[in-house]
């Protein structure tokens, strides 16, 4: 392995920063679409929903792409961020599980516009085979291997029910996929060198519910602390929640 030869100062970008770069990228695209050619860190930060100190700190990990006293060139910064994230190149993606969610994902324009190309739709249910979604045929799950090889797929999306997800992940890993976006509500077990990101709809709602409950209970107890009989403590647990 040769030493890296990046031309900018970027070495290790903190995870929190990596997660915000796509937000900045989107804000820059919006600004460009509006005809804005230059923006300050303050303007870009507002568009991205963060404060300007954080924005400048984040951008400083990429290099020095602004001009003091002036701001940032929108197109230039946009390109630099896109390059760092890797969305200047083409990413072939496979989606497994073509239910409602799989359909939504296959049709999602935000993928294509950012270099993600859905090259295969796979489903274990043969009733779905032959259907075409967003111009791509739905094929048997067993075609995974071939699709990954033929198209050089590096990213897999799992949109199956929870019960099937681990199996799908195992097969993806066996095919050489090392980046997985998982929509199934289950913790996947994968080797260390495989990245899994999880999108969990019910967890997001539960986090909202927690905060909503706190808002609603400003004038009252945290929660009605009645332990229903069905969950009364087992032998090891202590006194009730009076």
Partner DNA sequence: TAGATTGTTAATCGATTAACAATC
- Residues belonging to the binding site for NAD(+) are 97-102
From DNA, its own copies, none, which one binds at residue 210 (CB under 5 to 8 Å depending on kind)? its own copies
Q: Which residues pair with 94 in a beta bridge?
A: 120, 156
Region binding DNA by CB under 7 A among candidate stretches 13-21, 28-36, 127-135, 185-193:
13-21
- In the list 35, 69, 191, 239, the residue contacting DNA (rule: CB under 7 A) is 69
176 near DNA, rule: CB under 7 A: no
Note the maximum CA span of the chain. Answer: 69
Distance CA 76, CA 66 (A): 9
22 near DNA, rule: CB under 7 A: no
- Our CB check for its own copies shows the closer of 64 and 142 to be 64
Region binding DNA by CB under 7 A among candidate stretches 66-74, 109-117, 139-147, 167-175:
66-74
From DNA, its own copies, none, which one binds at residue 135 (CB under 5 to 8 Å depending on kind)? none
Q: Say if CB 155 and CB 93 are below 8 A apart.
A: yes
Q: Which tokens hold the place of 78?
A: 């946009």
Query: Rounded to whole angstroms, what are the CA distances from 28 to 40, 124, 187?
Result: 11, 40, 34
Q: Which residues pair with 28 in a beta bridge?
A: none
Pairing of strands 155-158, 136-140: unpaired
59 near DNA, rule: CB under 7 A: yes
Cβ at position 204, least distance to DNA in Å: 17
For residue 48, the surrounding DSSP H or E stretch is: helix 41-48
Distance CA 39, CA 172 (A): 42
Residues contacting DNA: total by CB under 7 A: 27
217 near DNA, rule: CB under 7 A: no
Cβ at position 7, least distance to DNA in Å: 15
Residues that bind DNA (CB under 7 A): 14-17, 39-42, 50-54, 56-57, 59-60, 64-72, 236
């Amino acid at each position: 392995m040769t030493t890296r030869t990046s031309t900018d100062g970027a070495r290790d970008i903190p995870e929190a920063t990596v997660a915000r770069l796509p937000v900045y990228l989107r804000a820059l695209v919006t600004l460009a679409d509006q005809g804005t050619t230059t923006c300050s860190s303050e303007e870009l930060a507002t568009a991205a929903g963060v404060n300007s100190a954080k924005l400048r700190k984040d951008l400083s990990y990429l290099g020095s792409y602004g001009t003091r006293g002036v701001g940032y060139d929108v197109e230039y910064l946009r390109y630099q961020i896109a390059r760092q994230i890797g969305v200047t190149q083409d990413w072939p993606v496979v989606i497994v599980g073509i239910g409602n969610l799989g359909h939504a994902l296959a049709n999602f324009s935000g993928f294509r516009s950012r270099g993600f190309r859905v090259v295969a739709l796979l489903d274990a249910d043969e009733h779905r085979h032959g259907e075409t979604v967003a111009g791509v045929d739905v094929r048997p799950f067993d075609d995974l291997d071939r699709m990954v090889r033929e198209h050089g797929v590096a990213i897999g999306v799992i949109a199956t029910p929870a019960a099937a997800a681990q199996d799908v992940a195992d097969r993806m890993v066996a095919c050489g996929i090392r980046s997985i976006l998982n929509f199934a509500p289950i913790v996947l077990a994968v080797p260390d060198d495989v990245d899994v990101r999880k999108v969990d709809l019910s967890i997001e709602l539960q986090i909202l519910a927690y905060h909503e409950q706190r808002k609603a209970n400003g004038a009252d107890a945290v929660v009605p602390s009645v332990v229903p009989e069905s969950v009364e403590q087992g032998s090891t647990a202590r006194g009730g929640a009076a």
